[in-house]
A and B are shown apart, each in its own frame.
Chain A
Amino acid sequence: MNSEAREQGLLGGIRILDLADEKASFCTKLLADLGARVVKIEKPGGDESRRMGPFWENASHLEKSLSFFYNNTNKLGITLDLDRNRGREIFLELVKRNDIIVETFQPGYLSSLKLDFNFLKAVNRRLILVSITGFGQKGPRKDYKSCDLVASAYGGQMYVTGSPTSPPLKAYGEQSYYLASLFAAIGILLAIRKRSQTGSGEHVDISLQEAVTATLEHVMVRFFSEAIIAGRQGSLHWNHAFKIFACKDGFIHLTLFQNWETLVEWLDSEEMAEDLKDKKWNNEEYRQQHIEHVIEVVECWTKTHRVDELFELGQLMHFPWAPVLSPKDILNSAQLKARKFFVPLYHRENDTDLSYPQLPFRFSSRFISRKKRAPLPGQDNAKIYKGELGFSNREIQQLLHLNVI
């Protein structure tokens, strides 16, 4: 029985070094939120991912990146320059005590520092190294540079997103980073499980492109089974089952096939069903072939209603409908409030709380809450270098002076 595990969360006792930039900071945030101890290692002065907006007060500032805040909760933060010999030595000391590393350097960079997997596993044979890059560690495009816009294009997400008359559209935010981070977290947990059986570590290779391609739902399935190349069709779902419609005061996402007869009765009760009462429309195939007409009639109807009205009445009748919510609406969602999805974390520099979204699950085991905001650069240098590696104050001063930490 591991008592540390019991107190801190499901992953209490697991120790991770985080060398990742914005491409995979979310991986270790996820594991830290689940109780793992994560030490984020930044270059002296702060990691490049602190330049990612949006920013608090719209000011580009290394200590105000909301993206960094969100992706680094519950981590400890130290600074260390791996490019210097002394920095590298200190890193190897950390690797002896922390046997999981997450990194996002271009392939070959760690090798140039003699810190590649083969070298590191000689230092710690239980080491699990997870590398997340644009195109993975091998293959003709391994050295290509990437970012979410490149991964979304190469991965196939953009081609099917947008309207037929618009250019391909990137999914909002940094979806490829979240996908790759989720796969990386699964990879780590699988490798830990295997290690508990075999005693030896693993190197997990994750590509942003593949993370996107693996999660295209219908796109590759239809290509391999029917040679269909899915295109862009606005909000109309590939099989016409869903579409977004305008209301008086916003937009609602409707289904066009479920409970058809109930839908027609509803429209008819407001004298807006037009010819949809005609028997031929009960045939699903016929509706598929004349979907434009169905959309036209339904849109006339939705425009006479408010979003909330259709959402609530629709759900009462088991229509799986939903409003198109803005971020502001999400903060006010009654469902999310009831489930305490947002938790305030205190930010001393502005003497105020920020409201953070939590992970999307609740566990039956209860743990001591230890929610912490993302670290400031080098915030935990003393704790790690003095407390764990046993450096003296003088040594730490020297490392600071030499810009190693």
Chain B
Amino acid sequence: MEELRVLDLTRVAAGPYATRIMADFGAEVIKLQTKKIATGAESNESAYFRAWNRNKRSITLDLSYPEAKDLFLELTRISDVVVENFSPRVMQNWGLNYNNLKKIRPDLIMISMSAMGQTGPWKNFVAFGPTLQSLGGLSYLTSFSKDTPLGLGYAYADMIAGLYAVVAMLAALEYRQQTGCGQYIDLSEYEAVCTTIGPTLLDAFINPDNILPQGNSAEYIPAAPYGCYKCKGEERWCTVAVFSEDEWRSLCNVLGNPSRAEDERFSSLSNRKKNGLELDEWLGDWMAKRSAEEAVQLLQAAGIPAGVVQNAGDLAGDPHLHARNFFTALDGLDRDGTKTDTSPMKFIHHKNEPWRAAPSLGRDNYYVYRELLGLTEAEIKSYIERGIIA
């Protein structure tokens, strides 16, 4: 995306993750900040900010000043995409809605990533990733019982919304390539979460009252045994999923009881599901004597899907991820070489390098205002003195 320029007004996670992917693949992403906003998760010094804003440029522009609007319009004129994740009223109040921006740049692509979408009775409701996971059914369903909803242990919704935003932007860019037309995209993070339980929503349409959380044992998955088992050591676990009859026979062999494969009570998937508790105990006893790594290695060698429940430390040292160069150090322009994940999209004819560290606050003011917009030194100085570039 080398020839693309993206104006990034987003904050915290969902938006910055979307524009990070654009930046990773070559787009020039210019992040708009102000000193006032650059605190907490948006502080350029925080690890969180640095994770989601690598490969980007940073400028300061305080849009609450009316004079800032003209600068923003000038930036829009030279940009392909504008990304924002405010509540619907914010861009409107600044006079920077799509209709106004497209007068300046007719083929502009603009995406609004709000919690609820730009329309509907809840459009101005405020929400964050975790609360959207609850609105979208994930907290209710990810649990062992409907009486104690748990949900995922992180802001998954923000990542999902970020990925959808990239799909939408790239699809709109492809359309622009074919037709010359710009695009306005209204993305709802609430709806993004709902799409990840699609089959269950179809099921609920047919059987509204029968949908319950299932813990790790999923009724609707054609596999048994299917679950998570405690292994040797503190907080060491592994998962096993047996789908086919071949896998079932292999499991009996690996666990040292080949005759069990002939046992009537386990002779089909439905029988194994029916007598699942007994199988779980059997697997549990076997696992308890082994490390998770050893158990999984034995099972996978016999062709049975199994996985180590890895924690952050395991992942950082994972030899498979290492062999695939999944983690890398950032090329520290003005920072240390903190590690980061690269990208789960690996192209055989393309390498994303270098991975540049996130910018300091306003690091690219001179480049953007002087070189791209052609302001004079005096003009820039005056904007700075008035607190507009601040």
Within 8 Å of chain B (Cβ to Cβ): is A13? yes
Instruction: Of the listed stretches B117-125, B254-262, B362-370, name the one at the interface; the rest are far from the partner chain.
Output: B117-125
Check if A330 sits within 8 Å of B204, measured CB to CB: yes
Within 8 Å of chain A (Cβ to Cβ): is B339? yes
Within 8 Å of chain A (Cβ to Cβ): is B60? no
In the complex, chain B residues whose CB is within 8 Å of the CB of A223: 312-313, 315-316
Check if B131 sits within 8 Å of A321, measured CB to CB: yes
Check if B208 sits within 8 Å of A331, measured CB to CB: yes
Question: What 0/1 pattern do residues 310 to 329 of A give for CB contact below 8 A with B?
Answer: 00000100111111111111
- Tell me the minimal C-beta distance from A209 to chain B in angstroms: 8
In the complex, chain A residues whose CB is within 8 Å of the CB of B86: none
Within 8 Å of chain B (Cβ to Cβ): is A297? no
In the complex, chain B residues whose CB is within 8 Å of the CB of A218: 48, 154-155
Check if B211 sits within 8 Å of A30, measured CB to CB: no
Check if A189 sits within 8 Å of B174, measured CB to CB: yes
Check if B221 sits within 8 Å of A52, measured CB to CB: yes
Q: Which of B191, B209, B340 is within 8 Å of A341, CB to CB?
A: B191
Check if A361 sits within 8 Å of B186, measured CB to CB: yes
Within 8 Å of chain A (Cβ to Cβ): is B1? yes
Q: Which of A30, A144, A147, A361 is within 8 Å of B300, CB to CB?
A: A144
Within 8 Å of chain A (Cβ to Cβ): is B29? no
- Tell me the minimal C-beta distance from B375 to chain A in angstroms: 32
Distance in angstroms between the alpha carbons of A14 and B170 in the assembled complex = 13
Q: Which residue of B has the minimal Cβ distance to A254?
A: B131
Main secondary structure of the interface of B (DSSP, over half): mixed
In the complex, chain A residues whose CB is within 8 Å of the CB of B151: 161, 235, 244
Q: Which residue of A has the minimal Cβ distance to B312?
A: A223
Whether A187 contacts B345 in the complex (CB less than 8 A), given A66-B199, A328-B209, comes out as: yes
Whether A327 contacts B197 in the complex (CB less than 8 A), given A214-B341, A339-B119, comes out as: yes
Within 8 Å of chain A (Cβ to Cβ): is B266? no
- Tell me the minimal C-beta distance from B188 to chain A in angstroms: 5
Distance in angstroms between the alpha carbons of A218 and B158 in the assembled complex = 11
Within 8 Å of chain A (Cβ to Cβ): is B13? yes
In the complex, chain A residues whose CB is within 8 Å of the CB of B25: 190
Instruction: Of the listed stretches A268-276, A287-295, A362-370, A393-401, name the one at the interface; the rest are far from the partner chain.
Output: A362-370
Check if A141 sits within 8 Å of B228, measured CB to CB: no
Within 8 Å of chain A (Cβ to Cβ): is B150? yes
Check if B198 sits within 8 Å of A71, measured CB to CB: yes
Within 8 Å of chain A (Cβ to Cβ): is B384? no
Instruction: Of the listed stretches B30-38, B64-72, B76-84, B238-246, name the one at the interface; the rest are far from the partner chain.
Output: B238-246
Interface residues of A in 336-374 (CB under 8 A from B): 336, 338-339, 341-342, 354-365
Whether A53 contacts B309 in the complex (CB less than 8 A), given A173-B199, A331-B201, A360-B164, comes out as: no
Whether A186 contacts B179 in the complex (CB less than 8 A), given A223-B312, A324-B140, A328-B204, comes out as: no
Question: What 0/1 pattern do residues 280 to 299 of B give for CB contact below 8 A with A?
Answer: 00000000000000000000
Q: Which of A54, A185, A315, A324 is within 8 Å of B134, CB to CB?
A: A324
Instruction: Of the listed stretches A38-46, A75-83, A90-98, A132-140, name the one at the interface; the rest are far from the partner chain.
Output: A132-140
- Tell me the minimal C-beta distance from B316 to chain A in angstroms: 6
Within 8 Å of chain B (Cβ to Cβ): is A156? yes
Within 8 Å of chain A (Cβ to Cβ): is B171? yes
Within 8 Å of chain B (Cβ to Cβ): is A301? no
Whether A149 contacts B180 in the complex (CB less than 8 A), given A218-B48, A226-B47, A253-B139, comes out as: no
Within 8 Å of chain B (Cβ to Cβ): is A18? no
Within 8 Å of chain A (Cβ to Cβ): is B219? yes
Within 8 Å of chain B (Cβ to Cβ): is A171? yes
Within 8 Å of chain B (Cβ to Cβ): is A302? no
Interface residues of B in 222-240 (CB under 8 A from A): 222-223, 226-228, 230, 235, 237-240
- Tell me the minimal C-beta distance from A371 to chain B in angstroms: 14
- CB-CB nearest 5 A-B residue pairs: A53-B220, A225-B47, A160-B153, A360-B191, A327-B204
Further 13 A-B residue pairs, CB within 8 A, beyond A228-B312, A241-B130: A70-B198, A153-B310, A156-B311, A189-B171, A205-B347, A213-B341, A215-B159, A235-B149, A326-B204, A327-B208, A338-B121, A357-B198, A365-B175
Q: Would you list 29 pairs from A and B whose C-beta atoms are within 8 A, ordered by A residue?
A: A55-B220, A67-B199, A134-B305, A138-B324, A140-B319, A145-B300, A158-B239, A166-B150, A168-B309, A172-B200, A186-B163, A200-B349, A210-B344, A217-B154, A219-B154, A222-B312, A223-B316, A231-B311, A232-B153, A235-B150, A241-B128, A244-B134, A255-B131, A318-B126, A334-B122, A336-B194, A360-B191, A362-B185, A363-B168
